[in-house]
Amino acid sequence: MKNTPFTNLHVKAGARMVPFAGFNMPVEYTGITEEHLVVRQKIGVFDVSHMGEFVVKGPRATEYLQYITSNDVSALYDGKVQYSCFPNGRGGIVDDLLVYRFDAEKYLLVVNAANIEKDWEWCVSHCAKFGLTPGEELVNESDSIAQLAVQGPLALKAMQKLTGAGVTDMEYYTFREIEFAGISNVLFSTTGYTGAGGCELYVRNEDALKLWDAVFEAGQEFGIRPVGLGARDTLRLEMGYCLYGNDINDQTSPIEAGLGWITKFTPSKDFIDRELLLKQKTEGVERRLKGFVMIDRGIPRQHYPIVDAEGLTIGEVTSGTMSPCLKLGIGMGYLSKGFWKTDTEIYIRIRNKDLKAKISDLPFYSDESKKA
């Protein structure tokens, strides 16, 4: 079991630690709902040092990434971040990821912790086609980088205290390398997996503890708190964000998953599964990932059957929870054609009872819908 540079701090703070993707990680400190609301209303800090980081560089870096990822890398500019996925050559998804462009010959790929080894092998398997050498033009930096996600409406205001660079007005999905908290070359990005605003801070492991102390000192006046992976999951689900292993995997296509917006068929982009995915986009698919809210009282969970009014199976729940902000059961699942329209009534089979729900647009949560 691996530890992050922050593990001892989590234990000292009384976190409930669990094995996650081969790491010893905090699932909660004081309670998932309480931590969830701290992020929505103030500032919460997540240790996401378990995520993977691959550097891609060289004159053919852009061409290589155009081939192995679904989104259009040529649309990026220096300092811009892009959400994308690795198509697996069979219509499924190896992983979803973020692509950071430093310049035309240097990129950073941020991948899911559970898939680091699989993703690395996948990326390596396509290096020769573009003349890249693993360890030179493709480098796995995962074990040497620590990362904190500082999330919430007050996050950027608090973090501005730690740098002379302007960060409060940074555009969504951009990044900068700055001096931060007395640490040089901190990668400061504004992506987020909570929908609450904020930033991510990437540093070398040796600077991790200095970063933690500075972040919590700067956020003290704003009610900053450490937050575990439990609230990270409920926050992302309120936004309708996919989680690899639940909502997307090697058997789900980006078109089925509603990720057509990160699957670009521009004339200059030849990528893995292009023809297969273009056919799906043109001709349609038999199932789609859709969001739903419970009408009857109940909490949907992964793998619960989704049925129609006659009790016939029409799908399966991939993610579900009780929304701390909406105080409703919410979830996502793959549904057969004919049940995709907003407000269509469906039923979730929970403990052998078919409880009524309805198809919902995403995200489930917005500032206007806030009830907590």
For 223-256, the pLDDT digits (tens) are 999 999 999 999 999 999 999 999 999 999 999 9
What are the residue ranges of CATH 2.40.30.110 in the chain? 286-372
What are the residue ranges of CATH 3.30.1360.120 in the chain? 7-48+143-237
φ and ψ at 171, to 5 degrees? -70, 155
Q: Examine the pLDDT at 368 and tell me if it is beyond 60.
A: no
pLDDT given for residue 366 in this prediction: 84
- Options 2.40.40.20, 3.40.50.1010, 3.40.50.2000, 2.40.30.110; CATH of 286-372: 2.40.30.110
**pTM tops 0.85, yes or no:** yes
**Separation CA 260–CA 72 (nearest Å):** 12
**Percent of the chain surpassing pLDDT 90:** 98
**Separation CA 150–CA 237 (nearest Å):** 18
pLDDT given for residue 253 in this prediction: 98
Mean of all residue pLDDT scores within the chain: 97
Going from the C-alpha of 291 to that of each of 29, 30, 104, the distances in angstroms are 29, 29, 37
End-to-end CA distance of the chain: 37
CATH number of 7-48+143-237: 3.30.1360.120
Q: Examine the pLDDT at 370 and tell me if it is beyond 70.
A: no
Average of per-residue pLDDT across 311-322: 98
Q: Which residues contact 361 (CB under 8 A, 6 or more apart)?
A: 291, 342
